[in-house]
Amino acid sequence: GESVGLHLPTLSVQEGDNSIINCAYSNSASDYFIWYKQESGKGPQFIIDIRSNMDKRQGQRVTVLLNKTVKHLSLQIAATQPGDSAVYFCAENPSLSNTGKLIFGQGTTLQVKP
C-alpha cells in the first residue's frame, strides 16, 4: 500500500555534528519528494524538495539525496544547531494523477544536545 516510512523515530546528535535522517518510500511512480520540519505548535515548514529526475539537491546547510533504485530518501543537515531540533517529515507525491496530494512519513524527532 501507500506508505512513506522513516527508519528511526528519534535521532539525537551533538551540536555541530552532521545529522542524517532517512526515509523509505514504497511507490516507484512518485515523482516529487519534500522534506518538512515541524516545531511544536507550528505547521510543517518547507526545507527542501527534489524531483525524481535528480539524485541530489543542496540548500543552505541541507542536502537531500534520492536513490530511486532502492526507493530511499535522506536529509543531511550540516553543523546541526539547537534550532534544528524538531520533527522532520519526508513526503512524496504518489503519482501524476494525484494533484495536490502528499503522503507523509511518520516523522523523525531530531534532538540536538548542546
Partner 1 sequence: KAGVTQTPRYLIKTRGQQVTLSCSPISGHRSVSWYQQTPGQGLQFLFEYFSETQRNKGNFPGRFSGRQFSNSRSEMNVSTLELGDSALYLCASSLEASKFLTSTDTQYFGPGTRLTVL
Contact mark string toward partner 1, 55..94, x via CB under 8 A = ----------------------------------x-x-x-
Residues listed for the chain:
114
CA-to-CA distance for 8 and 107, rounded, in angstroms? 8
The verdict on 24 binding partner 1 (CB under 8 A) reads no
Task: Work out how close the CB of 15 gets to partner 1 at its nearest, in angstroms, rounded to a whole number.
Answer: 27
The verdict on 103 binding partner 1 (CB under 8 A) reads yes
In sequence order, the β-bridge partners of residue 20 are 76
CB atoms inside a 10 Å sphere around CB 75? 24
The verdict on 54 binding partner 1 (CB under 8 A) reads no
